């Protein structure tokens, strides 16, 4: 791929005006330097994520001693997915290498898991054990990171091994934890053996993405059935918490399914309108509940850890808002003006991105859950579609050279 080295003033001009191949454009509500601010923080977090991901994992008893401020592999998975996009954008091999080291660890531990095809979550049931809890939802997140890594691998053997691992997990869930209703149970969980919203959302998201890679209709059928089930889900039925306490978590995970579904839904698919309607209602909730700082009043160390990921789905909504009947309705903005819903959402997303990209201190060496989800929003902002609709190794945007990136620091 040809790389063009440009003076920083020209690069900034492209970013402000909208680089012709990157769809990086600004609305009047966005500060002119927002994309550069986001890019800088994205790469800073990516560098920390590399160090956290390549180290041997810790567990619930000693994770506070590591670079990770959490023990769960499913959190890692969001950093891996976003790091894969950072590799697309920069060509920095250390980003892809970290994704592969992490994915190799998942595959190695998968070999000893019971049931066969399951991934180890870094807690509860371990490789070699035949008792203890194990969750489909967590592993749905893990497998999406593995296939994201697979798409960036040049070596066909490595790519095939990653996809075979994903296939093994898919078969396990489709055979043992899929319901005729379309819902997916959460594996081996003492709280419920019924279909559950989170496992359904994350497995369906994986199925849509895996269908995009393989073209196998059976995966599309499972994914669509999962969306049908989710469209009947009332957000207050979470089991784990009251919606008012954990709304960002519920919304983020459900939108993983919808954001993965939309690239594969034809305009005449009746469920497409319903999905866009749910997405519309969700992003309106985000805009309505956002505070003046650009974030939301949830504890970022508890159910609010997904806050950094909310702008990701606001940006995805803006790609599809033309098909939303609500997009022509005016909403009351924080300034007191009546604005169209997409304008409100665009302004809200910009405010959130500005907030999250300004709160990190230089020299920080601890990688948090919120960092992982924030990286997802950065990836979607800078490279639309690379998270949820990528089906091959092609990168549709121009890759920056190291000189260009250095000029932007």
Q: Which residues pair with 332 in a beta bridge?
A: 338
- The token pair that represents 350 in the structure block: 């910009």
Q: Which residue has the tokens 């601890």?
A: 366
pLDDT at 56: 78
Collapsing DSSP states into helix, strand and coil, what is residue 188? strand
- Residue 334 is predicted with a pLDDT of 78
pLDDT at res. 66 = 66
Separation CA 233–CA 339 (nearest Å): 30
**In 3-state terms, what secondary structure has residue 68?**
strand
Contact, 304 vs 267, CB < 8 A? no
The pLDDT of residue 20: 33
> For the chain, what's the residue count?
409
Tens digits of pLDDT across the chain (409 residues):
333 333 333 334 334 333 333 433 334 334 448 999 999 999 999 999 999 999 877 766 655 556 888 889 999 999 999 999 999 999 999 999 999 999 999 999 999 999 999 999 999 999 999 999 999 999 999 999 999 999 999 999 999 999 999 999 999 999 999 999 999 999 999 998 999 999 999 999 999 999 999 999 999 999 999 999 999 998 888 888 888 889 999 999 999 999 999 999 998 999 999 999 999 999 999 999 999 999 999 988 888 899 999 999 999 999 998 889 989 988 888 778 899 999 999 999 999 999 999 987 666 778 999 999 999 999 999 999 999 999 998 999 999 999 998 887 7
- Residue 64 has a pLDDT of 58
Backbone angles phi, psi at 345, to 5 degrees: -65, -40
Element housing 170 (H / E): helix 156-176
To the nearest 10 degrees (0 to 180), the angle between helices 197-214 and 156-176 is 140
Rounded Cα–Cα distance for residues 299 and 304 (Å): 5
Return the pLDDT at 60: 64
Residue 382 is predicted with a pLDDT of: 96
Alpha helices for 186-299 (secondary structure H): 197-214, 217-230, 243-261, 270-289
Residues 6 or more apart whose Cβ sits within 8 Å of residue 177: 136, 184, 185, 186, 187, 199
| The predicted structure's pLDDT at residue 9 | 36
CB-facing half-sphere around the CA of 404: CA atoms within 13 A: 20
**Which domains, ranges and CATH numbers included, belong to the chain?**
32-407 (1.50.10.10)
The torsion defined by the Cα of 381, 383, 388 and 393, in degrees rounded to 10, comes to -170
Instruction: Tell me how far apart the alpha carbons of residues 73 and 215 are, in angstroms, rounded to a whole number.
Output: 28
Q: How many whole angstroms separate alpha carbon 340 and alpha carbon 287? A: 12
């Amino acid at each position: 791929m040809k790389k063009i080295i440009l003076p920083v003033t020209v690069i900034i001009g492209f970013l402000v005006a909208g680089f012709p191949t990157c769809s990086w454009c600004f609305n009047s509500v966005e500060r002119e330097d927002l994309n550069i601010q986001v890019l800088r923080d994205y790469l800073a977090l990516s560098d920390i994520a590399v160090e956290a991901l390549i180290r041997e994992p810790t567990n619930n008893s000693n994770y506070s001693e590591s670079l990770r401020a959490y023990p769960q592999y499913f959190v890692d998975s969001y950093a891996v997915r976003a790091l894969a996009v950072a590799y697309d954008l920069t060509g920095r091999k250390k980003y892809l290498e970290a994704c592969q080291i992490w994915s190799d660890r998942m595959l190695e531990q998968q070999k000893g898991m019971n049931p066969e095809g399951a991934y180890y979550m870094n807690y509860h049931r371990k490789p070699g054990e035949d008792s203890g809890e194990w969750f489909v939802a967590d592993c749905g997140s893990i497998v999406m990171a593995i296939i994201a890594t697979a798409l960036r691998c040049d070596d066909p053997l490595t790519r095939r091994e990653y996809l075979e691992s994903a296939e093994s997990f898919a078969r396990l869930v489709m055979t043992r934890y899929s319901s005729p209703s379309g819902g997916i149970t959460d594996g081996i969980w003492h709280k419920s053996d019924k279909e559950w919203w989170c496992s359904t959302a994350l497995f369906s998201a994986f199925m849509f993405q895996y269908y995009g890679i393989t073209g196998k209709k059976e995966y599309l059928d499972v994914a669509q059935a999962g969306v049908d089930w989710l469209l009947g889900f009332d957000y207050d039925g979470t089991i784990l918490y009251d919606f008012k306490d954990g709304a960002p978590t519920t919304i983020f995970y459900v939108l993983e399914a919808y954001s993965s579904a939309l690239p594969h839904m034809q305009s005449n698919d009746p469920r497409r309108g319903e999905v866009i309607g749910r997405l519309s209602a969700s992003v309106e909730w985000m805009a309505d509940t956002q505070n003046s700082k650009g974030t939301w009043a949830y504890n970022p160390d508890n159910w609010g850890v997904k806050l950094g990921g909310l702008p990701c789905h606001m940006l995805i909504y803006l790609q599809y808002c033309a098909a939303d009947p609500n997009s022509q309705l005016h909403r009351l903005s924080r300034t007191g003006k009546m604005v169209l819903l997409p304008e409100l959402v665009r302004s809200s997303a910009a405010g959130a991105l500005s907030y999250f990209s300004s709160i990190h201190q230089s020299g920080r060496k601890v990688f948090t859950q919120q960092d992982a989800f924030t990286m997802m929003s950065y990836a979607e902002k800078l490279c639309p579609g690379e998270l949820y609709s990528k089906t091959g190794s092609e990168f549709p945007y121009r890759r920056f050279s190291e000189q260009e990136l250095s000029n932007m620091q």
